[in-house]
């Protein structure tokens, strides 16, 4: 009886399936998905430790903690891998060399995307550049063009503009001996001129001032708070005003660079045959990039295509990547050395010893200036100009037993890592001699306790150029001049606080009084 009942129930069950083949397919699928969901080992994994957030808004009340110093403080409480949730977005902060190795080496490909907010996406022509493009074939192409054409050693060496601009800076300082010099403004102007000339080949100061204004507005917009970045469905709240500002900023850049691109196209048309060789020798970055633009249009090069938007966005990368980073490091190096007079003396003695005081420093002298190089390395450890490396996960992954969701914004804290007490003795002290010892960490990107230029696929392509500009400028400023703090200020009174933005420059500009140090009159070679 019971068996007959069971058989009847089974018959009914099969009849339902026969009547509905759709159910026949979907039900097992649903069962499979449910089993997979509940047995997926990652589902049970926790997020990395972090402060508890509120429903919906998560940790948004801690927005002001998303700086290199704020995150370093939180890392002391929660560890080297920290999780925060801002609205709908997951944030992960990496603050120890071990965790940096995990994300920049072991799982490099998962962490190689770049996070970009709405403003960055719009202002980079929908990420048409290298710095904000996600990792993939397009980024590889942009990186290849940039490395081949803009950052190669051959090109770095041909950047006579570094020499000319450093000479001009030394001349300016010579005219101000005995007077206060704003070192911050001086070196910002130096690096801005170098990069501007390298990019556009022009020295027009009128154009530069306009361009600097455009860059400043871009910089503000890159970092501006926009609720839509955290709650996409709330974008309408101040979208109109914000979007108008974005559109105005991009129009100004278009107006500026389109004219330069058109001029370069005209120049190219007027150059032919033999002249072309001379032109190639002093080609600026727009010339180099335009070559790909033209080749593509002629149909002779199908490998790399560059649109106008690509060219504009890459030029912005170089401007942002190369100006403030180098300028703020020169200023920090001068400040740290003035704060430690015995270290300053060692660097200046080395300059007197290896170069002498009868001529200025030449490029070939740099190799001999070991202690100066150590002082610059130490400056980059204490003050990495890009303190937070901003990456994004391409897919969900697991680090150290913690779940990291796809599209998490990952902030690798180069500042906190450079001060990690397990990797550095007396981490807060300025001690260039630590880089003298055999096996001391190097910039190469394989020593994860020291990553001022990043590491792995997204590491800085302008490193060689940046280091060269840094060493050459600091060597000149310390070789040609002695420096005193103004108004009898003691070295210990020097304010060493920093600001947080895309870079971390000094909060107050370094002011000092130069006196001429060479035993010969200044002859610029
Ligand atoms: C003191 C000098 C410099 C320092 C410390 C520095 C540091 C860095 C760092 C930390 C990154 C990000 C790495 C990452 O996300 O993992 C980076 C990326 C970049 N840097 Fe530099 N940089 C310097 C100079 C320069 C110069 C002179 C240029 C160009 C002329 C430049 C162009 C770039 C570009 C285009 C990127 C983006 C690369 C990509 O996303 O693929 N940098 N830099």
Atom of ligand 1 nearest to the CA of 458: 41
61-72: b (≥16 Cβ within 10 Å) or e: ebeeebbbbbbb
CA of 131 to the centre of ligand 1 (A): 8
d(CA 285, CA 155): 10
Q: What is the distance in A from the centroid of ligand 1 to the CA of 235?
A: 31
Task: Compute, in angstroms, the gap from residue 462 CA to the centroid of ligand 1.
Answer: 6
Q: pLDDT grade, residue 131 (50/70/90)? A: very high
pLDDT of 267-292, one tens digit each? 777 765 555 555 555 678 888 888 77
| ipTM confidence score | 0.99
Q: Which pLDDT tens digit goes with each residue over 192-231?
A: 888 888 888 776 666 777 888 888 888 888 878 888 888 8
Sort 387 into a burial class: Cβ within 10 Å, 0-12 / 13-18 / 19+: buried
State which ligand 1 atom lies nearest to the alpha carbon of 131: 40
Q: Classify residue 429 by burial, with Cβ atoms within 10 Å: 0-12, 13-18, 19+.
A: exposed
| Nearest alpha carbon to residue 318 among 509, 136, 462, 505 | 462
Residues 62-87, mean pLDDT to the nearest whole number: 96
Share of the chain above pLDDT 90, in %: 61
- Does the CB atom of residue 389 touch ligand 1 within 6 A? yes
* SS3 per residue for 291-314: HHHHHHHHCCCCCCCCCHHHHHHH
Proportion of the chain above pLDDT 70, given as a percent: 84
pLDDT of 244-254, one tens digit each?
999 999 999 99
For the Cβ of 131 lying below 6 angstroms from any atom of ligand 1, the answer is yes
Q: What are phi and psi for residue 111, nearest 5 degrees?
A: -100, 15
| CA dihedral sign of residues 19, 20, 21, 25 | negative
Pick the closest to residue 155 from 164, 146, 166 (CA basis): 146
pLDDT recorded at residue 208: 77
pLDDT at 235 over 70: no
DSSP 8-state assignment for residue 106: I
For residue 133, give the ligand 1 atom closest to its CA. 40
Q: How far is CA 278 from CA 195, 271, 283, 417, in A?
A: 21, 10, 9, 47
Whether the Cβ atoms of residue 57 and residue 32 lie closer than 8 Å to each other = no
């Amino acid at each position: 009886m019971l068996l007959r009942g069971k058989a009847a129930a089974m018959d009914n069950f099969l009849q339902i399936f026969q009547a509905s083949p759709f159910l026949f397919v979907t039900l097992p699928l649903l069962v499979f998905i449910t089993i997979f969901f509940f047995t997926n080992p990652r589902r049970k994994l926790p997020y990395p430790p972090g402060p508890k957030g509120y429903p919906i808004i998560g940790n948004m009340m801690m927005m002001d903690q998303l700086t290199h110093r704020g995150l370093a403080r939180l890392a002391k409480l929660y560890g080297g891998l920290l999780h925060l949730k801002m609205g709908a977005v997951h944030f992960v902060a990496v603050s120890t060399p071990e965790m940096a190795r995990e994300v920049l080496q072991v799982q490099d490909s998962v962490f190689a995307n770049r996070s970009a907010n709405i403003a960055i996406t719009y202002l980079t022509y929908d990420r048409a550049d290298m710095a904000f493009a996600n990792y993939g074939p397009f980024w590889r192409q942009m990186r290849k063009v940039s490395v081949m054409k803009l950052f190669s050693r051959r090109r770095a060496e041909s950047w006579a503009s570094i020499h000319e601009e450093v000479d001009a800076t030394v001349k300016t300082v010579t005219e101000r001996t005995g007077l206060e010099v704003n070192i911050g403004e001086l070196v910002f102007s130096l690096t801005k001129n170098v990069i501007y000339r390298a990019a556009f080949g022009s020295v027009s100061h009128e154009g530069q001032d306009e361009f600097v204004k455009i860059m400043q507005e871009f910089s503000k917009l890159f970092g501006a708070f926009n609720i839509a970045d955290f709650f996409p469905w709330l974008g309408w709240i101040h979208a109109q005003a914000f979007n108008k500002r974005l559109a105005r900023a991009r129009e100004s850049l278009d107006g500026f660079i389109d004219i330069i691109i058109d001029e370069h196209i005209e120049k190219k048309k007027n150059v032919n045959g033999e002249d072309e060789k001379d032109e190639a020798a002093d080609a600026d970055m727009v010339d180099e990039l335009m070559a790909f633009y033209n080749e593509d249009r002629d149909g002779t090069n199908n490998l790399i295509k560059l649109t106008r938007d690509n060219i504009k966005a890459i030029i912005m990368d170089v401007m942002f990547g190369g100006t403030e980073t180098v300028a703020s490091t020169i200023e920090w190096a001068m400040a740290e050395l003035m704060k430690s007079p015995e270290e300053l003396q060692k660097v200046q003695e080395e300059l007197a010893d290896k170069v002498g005081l009868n001529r200025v420093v030449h490029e070939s002298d740099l190799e001999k200036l070991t202690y100066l190089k150590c002082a610059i390395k130490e400056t980059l450890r204490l003050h990495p100009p890009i303190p937070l490396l901003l990456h994004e996960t391409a897919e969900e992954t697991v680090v150290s037993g913690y779940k990291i969701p796809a599209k998490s914004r990952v902030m690798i804290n180069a500042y906190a890592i450079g001060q990690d007490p397990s990797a550095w003795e007396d981490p807060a002290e300025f001690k260039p001699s630590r880089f003298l010892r055999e096996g001391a960490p190097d910039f190469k990107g394989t020593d994860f306790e020291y990553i001022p230029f990043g590491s792995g696929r997204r590491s800085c392509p302008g490193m060689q150029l940046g280091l060269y500009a840094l060493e050459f400028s600091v060597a000149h400023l310390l070789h040609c001049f002695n420096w005193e703090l103004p108004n009898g200020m003691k070295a210990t009174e020097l304010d060493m606080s920093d600001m947080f933005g895309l870079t971390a420059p000094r909060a107050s500009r370094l002011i000092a009084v130069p006196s001429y140090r060479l035993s010969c009159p200044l002859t610029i070679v």
